[in-house]
Amino acid sequence: MEIRTVGVVGAGQMGNGIAHVFALAGFDVLLTDISDEALSRALASVGKNLDRQVARGKITEPEKTAALERIATTTMLADLGPSDLIIEAATERETVKTAIFEDLQPHLKPETILTSNTSSISITRLASRTDRPEKFMGFHFMNPVPVMQLVELIRGIATEEATYKTLLGVVEKLGKSAATAEDFPAFIVNRILMPMINEAVYTLYEGVGSVKSIDESMRLGANHPMGPLELADFIGLDTCLAIMNVLHDGLADTKYRPCPLLTKYVEAGWLGRKTQRGFYDYRDEVPVPTR
Largest interatomic CA distance in the chain:
56
Fold of 5-181: Rossmann fold (3.40.50)
Q: In the chain, where are the structural domains located?
A: 5-181, 191-289
Residue of 122, 152, 198, 230 marked catalytic? 152
In sequence order, the 6+-apart residues with CB closer than 8 A to the CB of 278 are 232, 233, 237, 265, 270, 271, 272, 290
Q: Which conformational region is residue 194 in: left (phi greater than 0), alpha (psi within -120 to 50 degrees), or beta?
A: alpha
Is residue 127 a contact partner of residue 136, using CB atoms and an 8 Å limit? Answer: yes
Confidence (pLDDT) at 60: 96
Give CA separation, 213 vs 198, 240, 273, in Å: 16, 21, 20
CA angle 106, 111, 112 (to 5 degrees): 65
The residue among 165, 22, 169, 161 whose CA lies nearest residue 83 is 22
Buried b (16+ CB within 10 A) or exposed e, 40-60: eebbebbbebbeebeeeeebe
Q: Cα separation of 167 and 123, whole Å?
A: 15
The residue among 158, 151, 153 whose CA lies nearest residue 138 is 153
Confidence (pLDDT) at 170: 98
Confidence (pLDDT) at 207: 97
Residue of 49, 119, 120, 198 marked catalytic? 119
Confidence (pLDDT) at 129: 94
Q: Cα separation of 290 and 268, whole Å?
A: 13
Compute φ and ψ for 124, nearest 5 degrees. -60, -45
Which CATH code fits 191-289?
Answer: 1.10.1040.10
Q: Cα separation of 227 and 89, whole Å?
A: 26
Mean pLDDT per segment of 10 residues, for the chain of length 291 residues? 95 96 98 96 97 96 97 97 97 93 96 95 96 98 95 97 97 97 94 97 98 98 97 95 94 97 98 97 96 93
Residue of 83, 120, 190, 198 marked catalytic? 190
Residue of 16, 120, 140, 198 marked catalytic? 140
Confidence (pLDDT) at 92: 86
Model confidence pLDDT, tens digit, residues 187-241 = 999 999 999 999 999 999 999 999 999 999 999 999 999 999 999 999 999 999 9
Per DSSP bridges, beta strands 85-88 and 71-74 are unpaired
- Catalytic, 94? Answer no
Give CA separation, 203 vs 199, 211, 215, 290, in Å: 6, 9, 11, 15
The residue among 194, 181, 185 whose CA lies nearest residue 121 is 185
Q: Cα separation of 242 and 287, whole Å?
A: 25
Confidence (pLDDT) at 184: 94
- Catalytic, 248? Answer no
- Catalytic, 224? Answer no
Confidence (pLDDT) at 1: 77
Extended strands (E) in 136-287: 136-141, 150-155, 177-181, 280-281
Confidence (pLDDT) at 235: 92
CA-based torsion, 172, 178, 182, 185: positive or negative: negative
